[in-house]
Amino acid sequence: MKYKAIKEELKDNPKKWLVTGCAGFIGSNLVETLLQLNQTVVGLDNFSTGYQHNLDDIEKNVTDEQWKRFNFIKGDIRNLEDCNKALSGIDFVLHQAALGSVPRSIDNPINTNDSNVTGFLNILTSAKDNGVKRFVYASSSSVYGDSQELPKVESRTGNLLSPYAVTKMVNELYAGVFYKTYALETIGLRYFNVFGKRQDPDGAYAAVIPKWVSSLLKEGEVYINGDGETSRDFTYITNVVQANILAATATNEQSFGEAFNTGIGGRETLNNLYHAINEGLAKNLSDFEMKKAIYRDFRAGDIRHSNANIDKIKQLLGYVPTHSLKAGLEESLSWYINDIKGKK
Q: Which residues, including other chains, have CB under 8 Å from residue 277's CB and lie 6 or more apart?
A: 209, 212, 213, 216, 329, 333
Q: What share of the chain is helix, strand, coil (3-state, %, to 5)?
A: 45, 15, 35
Cα 10 from Cα 66, distance rounded (Å):
14
CA angle 235, 52, 110 (to 5 degrees): 70
CA angle 54, 58, 61 (to 5 degrees): 140
Is there a catalytic annotation at residue 223?
no
Nearest by Cα to 259 from 143, 92, 146: 143
Fill in the DSSP letter of residue 72: E
Q: Provide the residue type at 313 as one letter.
A: I
Cα 296 from Cα 116, distance rounded (Å):
30
Catalytic annotation, pick one of 3, 137, 144, 164: 164
DSSP H or E stretch at residue 53? helix 52-60
Phi-psi region of 245 (alpha: psi -120 to 50; beta: other; left: phi over 0): alpha
Any idea of the CA torsion for 53, 187, 206, 75, to the nearest 10 degrees?
40
Q: How far is CA 137 from CA 9, 154, 250, 258, 323, in A?
A: 22, 16, 14, 11, 22
Cα 122 from Cα 305, distance rounded (Å):
33
CA 332 to chain centre: 15
- The residues carrying an active-site annotation are 164
